[in-house]
Structure 1
Amino acid sequence: MFITSLDSQPQKVLIIDDAIQNILFLQSSLSDLASIHFATNGPEGLALCEELKPDLILLDISMPGMDGWEVCTILKDNPLTSDIPVIFITGNEQPEAEQLALEKGAIDFINKPFDPKICRLRVMNQLKLRNQSRVLQQAKQEMTQLVESVPVLITYWDENWNNIFSNDLTGKWFDGFNETSHNKHVTQSLPREVYHRLLSHSEIKHKNSIEFTVSVQSNKQDQHFRVFQSATFNEGVLVGSLVTFVDITDAKKAKQALHSEKERLRVTLQSIGDAVIATDTQGYITFINPIAERMTGWRFKDTPPEKIEDVMLLRDADTKKPLLNPLYLALSEQRTVAMALNSELLSHSHQVYAVEDSAAPIRDEKGEIIGAIMVFHDVSEAMALAMKMSHLANYDQLTDLPNRILLQDRLTVAIQTAARQNHKVATLLLDIDNFKYLNDSIGHLLGDQLICKMARRIQQLLPAAFTLARLGGDEFVILMNEIQSVEAALSLASDLVTAMHQPFMLDDKPYNVSASVGVSVYPDDAKDAEELIRHADVAMYSAKQEGRNRFCFFSGDLEESLLQRHALELKLRHAIENDELIVVYQPKFNLKTKNIVGAEALVRMVDENNQLISPVEFIPIAEDSGLIVPLGNQVLLKACTQAAKWLKEGMPISVSVNVAAAQFADPDLEAIIIEVLNQTQLPPHYLELEITETALMGDINETQTKLSVLKGLGINISIDDFGTGYSSLSYLKKFNVDIMKIDMSFVIDMLNNTHDYEIVKTIILLGQSLSLTLIAEGVETEEQAQALMELGCGIGQGYLYSKPLRKKEFMTFLESATKNPNET
């Protein structure tokens, strides 16, 4: 729709005349020129005019009611009809009438009676003028619409740079530049950056046009424009300037983004740790980054383009045979491909790199392949690290022996092979006897040296086909694969036990150790690797139970015993977690007065039938499983709670609590005792801790410090089971203790066995010399009590007086003993 032709559109003529004969005449004369419409009075003509919007109005002046002058005035005052041309029709030939008609806005004057030719010519000329006016108006509108819609700002300025024209009427190009900018100076219409450039171009006087780029800063963002400035001359004199603006902001940003992306890509490729080589479709190198140059030993700038296979020399790491570069595979198959495994790169400087890589085709915007790119990196260190990590994952760090993971794998393979070949597989689990106590006494550094020396000694006894592994701590496993009979396992187990008898030199001092060995055989004792190890552990535990320093083969009875032990451990753990342990109390008596002077708290478990389980059964399990510390803490709390209750009820009875070696070594022991005493409100002197000799014979200085701290709390310290441990007098005299207990194993036979009697006598004399209170355990007869009193022991406990009692039974017994002390 550009300058639409209006010639084919029918034109309309409206006749307003009260004389019908005039209307008929005009209609007959003009019907071939336009569509003729008429009205016989002024109001009807005005209404019809708004409806038809005619191209020409023939208006009679003299009409009744509303004459032509009034109708014309109304038409010209109405914006909808003011531009419609009006020709007056009148029989008045006075000159002033024609003048008045023109003053009212009419364009012509036709006199009556009508001359058909004159009338026709006048109307035809006015219709042509009307049609041309409409065409020009339509063209102007369309041109304005076109100019306003183009993505270019078009402006025209006079010789003094006042704005004459602009196609931006809304201010979308520049702030403040809109329809109000007409006739304004350029400095008031355009940004400073723009008008400075426009006014500075003096050379425009000598050229028809000039082109430049300008950037405009705004609050939103920087804008960039391509400006075309053309001068208009009249007879050599500058009369104006046409200035057009093209917004190139997006293009400039895209160009900058492309440049930034290319630069970022260049820097990335130059600085990444991977080597990069790009080629064309024939394999000729078009780009190579510094890492690739270093690894290949080839410089891109120093030589003309070469093919990638001449620069990147790939070969198999094992056979050293050349390999096809995967870049050619990527080009031929049009996909990403990886290098063959175990590839290595031989550089031009004769260095060898273990490499991994991938190659991919490069495509243009149409998807056509224009080359390929190879990315590769040195994995030599990674492979070495992987091997190291694999070794760390499968070998013990201290001894460099296979660990549990690698042993499990070898056991599985050995069992599978034995199953196919009808052979046997044996596992020997070796554990150093009493290693924990030895390790604590000599220190962990020497303990680690002992483990390493023992590993070497065991290794010397084994053929190369056997595997020696360390499970951790002081446990070793020997895997004997492809043996024909169990006699080979028996012989090796015997040799292992014997080999341990030779002392180990640690820090220039000899140390004697022994070991216990458990043996399990596939398929006799187990069906898989896990069961084989577990049964060897059962057998080793049995060897320790039988006295250590020996070996033992697995049997079904051992497994049953182990399962029972495991069930008891679960029961013990449950009892501790749910506060279900039972504490019983065995009274201590003054052997002379028969008065109760204290009570020993002893722990018990309850079975499904509410029967008490002896501590002989579960205390060793607690010590082996690490439950002894929470067990001891729970007994301590229960005993102190009960002693505080007795004190509150008027029966001040001190209570003694056994402290295991692990519990004594616990660094939190002091804090736990303080918390229990505060919680139960028991005065400290009513609490006695019974500690075995074994628990005390660790680090002597540390033991002295701990005993002093505990004594500082106000509690009493007792050495329990004296005579059954190390009994080192040089250590004993250094310990700040209050009480010494004589073990029942000496008391029971002291009247029947001279040696036991002398031991009891010696212990009593020793205690007296150290000013210690002496308590004899296991007193069962009056004769024993009398003999102990004669030797100087004043306190005893045992079945002669009472078995261990539950707290209610103890209360009843205590009340009875208080009323009838001589009948106890």
Structure 2
Amino acid sequence: MPFMDAFNTQAYHPRLLVVDDDPRSRASLRELLKDSVMELATAQNGKDALAQLSTGRFDLVLLDLCLPDVGGHTIMDFISREAIDVDVVVISGRVEIDAAIGALKRGAFDYIRKPYGLEELTTTVRNALEQRRLRQANRHIALELEHSERMYRYLVDASPDIIYTLDREGRFTFINDRVSRLLGFQRDQLIGQHYGELVLEDDLELANHAFNERRSDGRASRNVELRLKRSADVRHPASRANDPMTISLNASGMYLQSGSSERPGFVGTYGVVRDITDKKRAESVISYQAYHDILTDLPNRSLFQDRLGMALIQAKRNKTELAVMFIDLDRFKLVNDTLGHHKGDALLQQVARRLKRCLRQGDTLARQGGDEFTVVLPDLHRHEDARVVAAKFIDSLEQPFDLDGHTAHISASIGIAVYPDHGETLDELLRNADTAMYQVKGEGKNGFAFFDQSSREMLDRRTVLGHGLRQALALNELEMYYQPQVDTSTNRLVGAEALIRWNHPTRGLILPGEFLPYAEENDLIPALSEWMIDALCRDMPRWSRVDDTLKLSLNLSPRYLDRGKIYDKLRSAMSDHDISPDRLEVEITENICISNPQHAIEQLERLGQLGVSVAIDDFGIGYSSLAYLHRFPVDTIKVDQSFIKAIEDEDTPYPVVLAIISIARGLGLHLIAEGVESEVQVRYLRAHGCTVMQGFLFHRPMPIDEFIATIDRKAQQHAEPVPGKPMMN
């Protein structure tokens, strides 16, 4: 049947009010309803909607929650307060669970999220108007009951609700046919039976006060929720035989004047039973989702805090211990960035299942968000019990994870705080467990630790260092160091890698491995990257007067590359300092190529158009792929120092190193070996075709003045290089 044909009659002409500040939404709804006989009005803001609702009659309001002046919830409160007879369907782009709960609590017929499907919208509007029509029919039934028994029975049996009457003892004297469809009982089976035969046993006490109502005035039972039994012969498509039906009950006493009595006598009860099972089920789902993580089905932060609060009350009352654990997954970001968020979500689900198997029935595992989990272990007898659980967690994560054919390895860092030794409040225990977890992170990850005061002091130092890094940018405490790259076949400098250092006012020189994690946490990576570009472009003209052939490489964070500002920043800095682009090379990690390949290609191709070359740093330690080397505009491969460090014998083959050298040679790429520290490594690399190297054997990273002096000294050396042995500094 075409949409709204059911309402194209002279007897029923629904009036709809569309409240939306988006003119496109209003236009699309008008286009949808143009072929029906419905009357459509629109309001472009909340004030307009309130004015029209105050003066006009409407059957249905299609209401957007996010309006520029008066919010949708406020409009619904106005409808309720003024007792306006209109139904509301909320159509909103808001995804918060509180928005949906707030709308349903205010009596909304349904809640549709934007963007919605055509079928979803039309079905909802049809159902809302149909329900309204049925309610109007019920009111008509109530009026006709006073005039015609025949009309009464016809209309009552067509009602979507169960309508019944009871005698003074609570036995059914009438019940309509709706009971057969909803509960599976034939009306003849129930006539003469007590209402208690239908009521679930746990609800009988409440039913005794409501089902057989004697009051008939404003104190009569209204919207009392009960559960009724279903027959094994139930035919209702959405119900099962042993699944009770939740109802909303309205009941009122019936009185008749008898004989010469001055007061009417009580003769029974009249009631209406509405099936609200689906509504209660929907409310239950919404409530469950409000307190559970949708991805892992674990309790979320709110529910965890409720359970921890209850566990603390019991621990204080029973004088027992409890433990709180804070779990952070190691290397999860690498999996998420390289294999994608879909695989990352699958990994989190598998982790949740493994961790849950390690717990007792009364323990709680919750997901805090991201790759962080929390655990509460109530009723502990000793600290060792928490240690045993933490060890089980670590063991459970040792086995690899299968992500649709991709194998992933992760571990966890676990901090433990025990009540009452490590805190007596919820906030103290969570904070101290988090602190202990950071201690494990700092000591190499993949383990667990109990909170102690040294952990707190370490975290305080981390916090101070994080705040100090912002000041370092403003106070010019940062400095660029340069590590030369040597062509061992000529013993000449061919380039250098730019490395950032922090000249801390009290701690002295701090290496990037210590302060870059804080930069990541505080979103300072873009600012640091731009400072590095400015600094090296400022330094380059100084050594160019001595040697204008050296190529400078700069290692930039994936986060900075993702933001897409590197092209404009490099172009501006090179222009300001008159730097030729062929003197610069940008180093990236190969994981950038996999996490978002198309975006990375676009950014790197723009650098190529600028004249800047690209190197893949730490090649071989990530998810290497020849396909990416073919697709990406790469000029240089840098062999990771972990592979170079393994070279201890000139006569032993090292397959990974040989494979990388072969890849570079086959693709015509430049090759640089990082971390060279021994003459054996030099001879092995040279023998197999890799001649350009950097490492402590040649030069350590050095400040600009020392770097210029080194360039000058090398430029003045005219001795031939000794084959197989580099000239040392």
Shorter-chain TM-score: which interval? 0.5 to 0.7
- Partner of residue 587 from structure 2, selected from 690, 693, 701: 690
Residue-by-residue CA offset, 1:24-43 (whole Å, 9 max, x unaligned): xxxxxxxxxxxxxxxxxxxx
On the 8 A contact 1:720/1:741 being kept in 2, the answer is yes
Matched, 1:635 2:532: yes
Aligned to 1:403: 300
Matched, 1:740 2:633: no
Distance in 1 between residues matched to 2:133 and 2:661, nearest whole Å: 89
- Partner of residue 525 from structure 1, selected from 406, 422, 429: 422
Distance in 1 between residues matched to 2:555 and 2:217, nearest whole Å: 81
Aligned to 2:459, the other structure's residue is in SS state helix
On the 8 A contact 2:221/2:249 being kept in 1, the answer is no
On the 8 A contact 1:317/1:343 being kept in 2, the answer is no
Aligned to 2:206, the other structure's residue is in SS state coil
1:466 maps to amino acid:
D
Which one scores higher on RCO, CA 8 angstroms, separation ≥ 6? 2
- Partner of residue 319 from structure 1, selected from 206, 209, 216: 206
Aligned to 1:136: none
Aligned to 2:463: 566
On the 8 A contact 1:426/1:522 being kept in 2, the answer is yes
On the 8 A contact 1:661/1:695 being kept in 2, the answer is yes
Work out which of the two has the higher radius of gyration on C-alpha atoms and give 1 or 2.
1
Matched, 1:448 2:345: yes
Q: How far off is 1:469 after superposition? A: 0.9
Q: How far off is 1:488 after superposition? A: 2.3
Aligned to 1:611: 508
1:303 maps to amino acid:
E
TM-aligned CA distance change 1:558 to 1:294, over 3 Å:
farther
Distance in 2 between residues matched to 1:709 and 1:447, nearest whole Å: 30
Distance in 1 between residues matched to 2:696 and 2:343, nearest whole Å: 46
Distance in 2 between residues matched to 1:494 and 1:385, nearest whole Å: 40
Distance in 2 between residues matched to 1:341 and 1:649, nearest whole Å: 93
On the 8 A contact 1:646/1:652 being kept in 2, the answer is no
2:536 maps to amino acid:
A
Aligned to 2:469, the other structure's residue is in SS state helix
Distance in 2 between residues matched to 1:612 and 1:581, nearest whole Å: 10
Q: How do 1:51-200 and structure 2 match up within 5 A?
A: none
On the 8 A contact 1:427/1:521 being kept in 2, the answer is yes
Q: How far off is 1:467 after superposition? A: 1.4
Distance in 1 between residues matched to 2:692 and 2:139, nearest whole Å: 92
Residue-by-residue CA offset, 1:414-444 (whole Å, 9 max, x unaligned): 1222122111111233333322222233332
On the 8 A contact 1:750/1:760 being kept in 2, the answer is no
Aligned to 2:418, the other structure's residue is in SS state strand
Aligned to 1:718: 615
On the 8 A contact 1:585/1:804 being kept in 2, the answer is yes
Matched, 1:805 2:702: yes
Distance in 1 between residues matched to 2:645 and 2:223, nearest whole Å: 77
2:142 maps to amino acid:
R
Q: How do 1:809-820 and structure 2 match up within 5 A?
A: 809-815=706-712, 817-818=714-715
On the 8 A contact 1:779/1:799 being kept in 2, the answer is yes
On the 8 A contact 1:270/1:290 being kept in 2, the answer is no
Aligned to 2:361, the other structure's residue is in SS state coil
Aligned to 1:490: 387
Distance in 1 between residues matched to 2:135 and 2:568, nearest whole Å: 65
Residue-by-residue CA offset, 1:568-611 (whole Å, 9 max, x unaligned): 22222333466653222233344455544333211111212383
Q: How far off is 1:767 after superposition? A: 3.8
Residue-by-residue CA offset, 1:13-60 (whole Å, 9 max, x unaligned): xxxxxxxxxxxxxxxxxxxxxxxxxxxxxxxxxxxxxxxxxxxxxxxx
On the 8 A contact 2:593/2:628 being kept in 1, the answer is no
Distance in 2 between residues matched to 1:290 and 1:725, nearest whole Å: 64
On the 8 A contact 1:751/1:757 being kept in 2, the answer is no
Q: How far off is 1:618 after superposition? A: 1.4
Aligned to 1:526, the other structure's residue is in SS state coil
Structure 2 portions without partners, runs of 5+: 1-53, 60-81, 89-131, 148-164, 171-198, 228-244, 251-273, 720-726
Aligned to 2:248: 353
Aligned to 1:303: 146
Distance in 1 between residues matched to 2:561 and 2:511, nearest whole Å: 22
TM-aligned CA distance change 1:455 to 1:743, over 3 Å:
closer
Distance in 2 between residues matched to 1:679 and 1:398, nearest whole Å: 50
On the 8 A contact 2:401/2:408 being kept in 1, the answer is yes
Q: How do 1:282-431 and structure 2 match up within 5 A?
A: 299-300=142-143, 303=146, 319-322=206-209, 343=224, 352-353=247-248, 389-431=286-328
2:325 maps to amino acid:
L
Q: How far off is 1:471 after superposition? A: 0.8
On the 8 A contact 2:484/2:701 being kept in 1, the answer is yes
Distance in 1 between residues matched to 2:142 and 2:691, nearest whole Å: 100
Residue-by-residue CA offset, 1:732-769 (whole Å, 9 max, x unaligned): 56654322334455657856787698876765565444
2:386 maps to amino acid:
A
Distance in 2 between residues matched to 1:299 and 1:492, nearest whole Å: 65
Q: How far off is 1:657 after superposition? A: 0.4
Distance in 2 between residues matched to 1:596 and 1:266, nearest whole Å: 83
- Partner of residue 581 from structure 1, selected from 464, 478, 486: 478
Matched, 1:472 2:359: no
Aligned to 2:421, the other structure's residue is in SS state coil
TM-aligned CA distance change 1:507 to 1:772, over 3 Å:
closer
TM-aligned CA distance change 1:799 to 1:495, over 3 Å:
closer
Q: Percent identity?
A: 33
Q: How far off is 1:796 after superposition? A: 3.7
TM-aligned CA distance change 1:817 to 1:395, over 3 Å:
same
Aligned to 1:401, the other structure's residue is in SS state coil
Q: How do 1:650-729 and structure 2 match up within 5 A?
A: 651=548, 653-696=550-593, 698=595, 707-722=604-619, 724-725=621-622
Aligned to 2:482, the other structure's residue is in SS state strand
Q: How do 1:721-800 and structure 2 match up within 5 A?
A: 721-722=618-619, 724-725=621-622, 732=629, 735-744=632-641, 750=647, 764=661, 767-778=664-675, 792-799=689-696
1:639 maps to amino acid:
L
Aligned to 1:117: none
TM-aligned CA distance change 1:754 to 1:592, over 3 Å:
closer
Aligned to 2:77: none
Aligned length: 517
Aligned to 2:423, the other structure's residue is in SS state coil
1:687 maps to amino acid:
L
On the 8 A contact 1:659/1:690 being kept in 2, the answer is yes
Structure 1 portions without partners, runs of 5+: 1-261, 275-288, 305-309, 331-338, 356-377
Q: How far off is 1:401 after superposition? A: 1.9
TM-aligned CA distance change 1:387 to 1:809, over 3 Å:
same
Distance in 2 between residues matched to 1:656 and 1:351, nearest whole Å: 70
- Partner of residue 431 from structure 2, selected from 525, 534, 545: 534
Higher mean Cα deviation, 393-402 or 760-769?
Answer: 760-769
1:497 maps to amino acid:
I
TM-aligned CA distance change 1:611 to 1:511, over 3 Å:
closer
Q: How far off is 1:342 after superposition? A: 8.2
TM-aligned CA distance change 1:442 to 1:341, over 3 Å:
farther
Q: How far off is 1:293 after superposition? A: 7.4
Distance in 1 between residues matched to 2:660 and 2:599, nearest whole Å: 25
TM-aligned CA distance change 1:437 to 1:270, over 3 Å:
closer
Q: How far off is 1:522 after superposition? A: 1.7
Q: How far off is 1:405 after superposition? A: 1.6
Q: How far off is 1:554 after superposition? A: 3.1
* RMSD value, Cα: 5.1
TM-aligned CA distance change 1:386 to 1:750, over 3 Å:
closer
On the 8 A contact 1:427/1:520 being kept in 2, the answer is yes
